[in-house]
Structure 1
Amino acid sequence: MPTSKNALLRYAVIDACLRRKAHRWTFEKLRREVSTVVGEQSGEGGDISIRTLREDLKNMRSGGATGYDAPIAWDAENGYHYSEEEYSIFNNPLTIDDLVVLQQALGALEQLQGLGISEELHGVVQRLEMRLSYQDGLNERVVLQFEQPANVQGQQWLSQLYTAIKNQQTQWLTYQPFHAPEARREVVHLHLLKQYNGRWFVIGQRHGRLPGASVFALDRIQGVAPSEERYQQSEDDPTTFFANLIGMSVLPRAALLDIKLRFSANRLPYILTKPLHSSQQVDIAEGEEIVRLKVVPTRELITLLLGYGADVEVIEPVELRNQIQMELARALENYQLTTR
């Protein structure tokens, strides 16, 4: 289980005390100091109990739960102290840059809540946050904030689907698409779990159907159960299914298109620094920069382009340009002026 922030703060205070060699730290003096600092910085009153401090010292020592392996010693002359002169639980080369990397990794793992693998890293990151904030005096103000993962529906199926793919076992999926009157139940050979825009999807081959990947949103799955059908591996590498897509929803009869886009001067720098797709290239035509994409059109691509409003113009192909024009005309109909 991850260590609580109050426990991390107590460890930091104990460490600060034991590094102050001019003081003789009896157990009671150490307990009072920890109680005072934790009360001030956490905003929670009350003394730290004798039992809590004993557990903290045990956890900090060699073999303890924290992994600090702190050389905490006691004798009548010096009281509690570090037997190694320069020791501190914060003696490591980690920096704020390391914390950023670990926070990003934790953010990715927290998207896998259904797999339950983020617990240990969460505790590590908490200890690093405490180290940086305690040492730099940043407890009272936030200077680094990360986007929190959404608690999306369907994560309860992650573990079961992951295990099925890993063990190459077919599954019965009970699935109800949006707008479908009822759910359908069928055997699926599962090949890949993929996340897009905060939602989880599983990709597989429907049993008894023509070869071709089908996409199932986890938030539309109503049930998962093992099937006795023999598992069939994908004929193609599943990780390449979406190489030519933006999003997950392939439009009917869609083919790979060479798309040319003209962005406004204000929007273009954002597109250049954060490409829309890995195929993105920039051409210079008549003194202006034209963004090119080579992708299969998807609903998500249409939504993305519409989201840029007047900041983007689809130059080619003409079919996509006409489709965007029709969607914008329909949107405009929602905002016709009304008289009262």
Structure 2
Amino acid sequence: MPPTKNALLRYAAIDACLQRTTQQWSFERLRREVAAVLAEHVDSAGGVSVRTLREDLKNMRPGGATGYNAPILFEPERGYYYGEAGYSIFASPVTVHDLPTLQQAVGLLRQLTGLGLSRELGEVVERLELRLSGQAQAVRETICQFEQPTSYQGQEWLGALYVAVQQQQVQRIIYQPFGATQPDELLVHPYLLKQYNGRWFLIGQREGWQTSLSVFALDRIQQLHTDKQTFLPHAGEVNQYFTHLIGVSILPHAELAEVRLRFTKSRLPYVLTKPLHASQTLDKNTDEKVLQVVPTRELVSVLLSYGGDVEVLAPAILREQLAEEAKRMLGYYL
């Protein structure tokens, strides 16, 4: 079990004391110092018990639960001290107990291979395994599996765009949307990278378009270059752009609407446990699901994925759109 915040504070306080080699640290003095640190950081007025401090010292020593293997020694005339000059638990903050977590972190980051983080973190973990070899066996089994495609087109731009957003660098993009016969050259001020449904999108301000943000699918980018033009920061919070959206695109002239849905009894429990949107509520009088969202293409796709298990009750324009889609689908099978 990983240590609690209080335990970590106590270990850090003990470590700080034992690094002060010009002082003598009796058990009681050490206990008072640790209690003072807790009182300062977590407003704890209860002090530190004798039993707690003894357990902390045991856990920090070789073979202890923390994995620090701290060379803590004790002599009656000298008190507690480190037997190794210059030692600190923070000189090697990662222990063998951290390796399983780091191995799983590498697995999580494999979906971001375009950023290079997976490879770099993997190398760090390998070095730690070599350093800690003999203490434990590294975890190799896959515990979490994700649906992120390994060969997603456009992922090669992810690393460069990550840097561009972070360092506020204007990008000159050769971009060809689906349906366009020729690509366009665009100047874009990048603000955010967003993933939705296994695809990556860049959210930014297109040069000359001051009215709204634009969304660019990374798989439609053909070329990408940093431009020396002055970066224009976004006036508001870019994340707020998605507060009332499902997906990343907005239908023309769409406005915030109250979407009312009726699910079949067999499907309703799934929707209750996995809401379609953060605004989702349940009208207990009618068992209708209510969303406060801007109708998007992605919302329509999500609703169609439920087939006959959902009925759109409102707004009327969305209900009509789903009805037209249902008629078109039915025509394929008649």
- Classify the TM-score, shorter chain: 0.5 to 0.7
> CA–CA distance in 2 between the matches of 1:107 and 1:241?
30
> CA–CA distance in 2 between the matches of 1:231 and 1:256?
31
Q: Which residue of 1 aligns with 2:148?
A: 149
- 2:279 corresponds to 1:279: yes
- After superposition, residues 182-331 of structure 1 pair within 5 angstroms as 182-285=182-285, 288-331=286-329
8 A contact 2:113–2:119 mirrored in 1: no
1:34-59 CA-partner distances (Å, limit 9, x unpaired)? xxxxxxxxxxxxxxxxxxxxxxxxxx
SS in 1 for 2:291: strand
> CA–CA distance in 2 between the matches of 1:180 and 1:308?
31
SS in 2 for 1:261: strand
Distance 1:222 1:68, change over 3 A: farther
Distance 1:308 1:181, change over 3 A: same
Residue type of the alignment partner of 2:279: S
8 A contact 1:244–1:296 mirrored in 2: yes
TM-score normalised by the chain length of structure 2: 0.64
SS in 2 for 1:163: helix
8 A contact 1:107–1:148 mirrored in 2: no
Q: Which residue of 1 aligns with 2:19?
A: none
SS in 2 for 1:202: strand
1:281-313 CA-partner distances (Å, limit 9, x unpaired)? 11112xx41111011111110010011011001
Give, in angstroms, the shift of residue 153 of structure 1. 0.9
> CA–CA distance in 2 between the matches of 1:271 and 1:187?
41
Give, in angstroms, the shift of residue 161 of structure 1. 1.1
> CA–CA distance in 1 between the matches of 2:275 and 2:103?
24
Residue type of the alignment partner of 1:256: L
Residue type of the alignment partner of 2:289: V
1:59-106 CA-partner distances (Å, limit 9, x unpaired)? xxxxxxxx999xxxxxxxxxxxxxxxxxxxxx96679xx75x963x44
Q: Please list every run of 5 or more consecutive structure 1 residues that lacks an aligned counterpart in the other structure.
A: 1-66, 70-90
After TM superposition, which residue ranges in structure 1, 4 or more long, deviate above 6 angstroms?
none
SS in 2 for 1:194: strand
Give, in angstroms, the shift of residue 134 of structure 1. 7.3
Residue type of the alignment partner of 2:145: F
Q: Please list every run of 5 or more consecutive structure 2 residues that lacks an aligned counterpart in the other structure.
A: 1-66, 70-94
Give, in angstroms, the shift of residue 226 of structure 1. 1.7
> CA–CA distance in 2 between the matches of 1:280 and 1:188?
34
> CA–CA distance in 2 between the matches of 1:322 and 1:189?
37
Give, in angstroms, the shift of residue 149 of structure 1. 2.6
8 A contact 2:154–2:218 mirrored in 1: yes
Residue type of the alignment partner of 1:299: R
8 A contact 2:107–2:144 mirrored in 1: no
Residue type of the alignment partner of 1:150: P
TM-score normalised by the chain length of structure 1: 0.63
> CA–CA distance in 2 between the matches of 1:331 and 1:203?
33
Q: Which residue of 1 aligns with 2:109?
A: 109
Distance 1:143 1:233, change over 3 A: closer
8 A contact 2:147–2:198 mirrored in 1: no
1:183-221 CA-partner distances (Å, limit 9, x unpaired)? 000111111111111111001111112331000000000
Residue type of the alignment partner of 1:116: G
Distance 1:214 1:322, change over 3 A: same
> CA–CA distance in 2 between the matches of 1:272 and 1:117?
35
Q: Which residue of 2 aligns with 1:169?
A: 169
Q: How many residues align?
A: 236
SS in 1 for 2:229: coil
> CA–CA distance in 2 between the matches of 1:174 and 1:257?
35
> CA–CA distance in 2 between the matches of 1:167 and 1:93?
35
Aligned residues with identical type, % of pairs: 45
Distance 1:313 1:300, change over 3 A: same
- 2:147 corresponds to 1:159: no
> CA–CA distance in 2 between the matches of 1:281 and 1:107?
35
Distance 1:114 1:266, change over 3 A: same
Residue type of the alignment partner of 2:195: Q
Residue type of the alignment partner of 2:281: Q
**Greater mean deviation of Cα atoms: 214-223 or 232-241:** 232-241
Distance 1:102 1:300, change over 3 A: farther
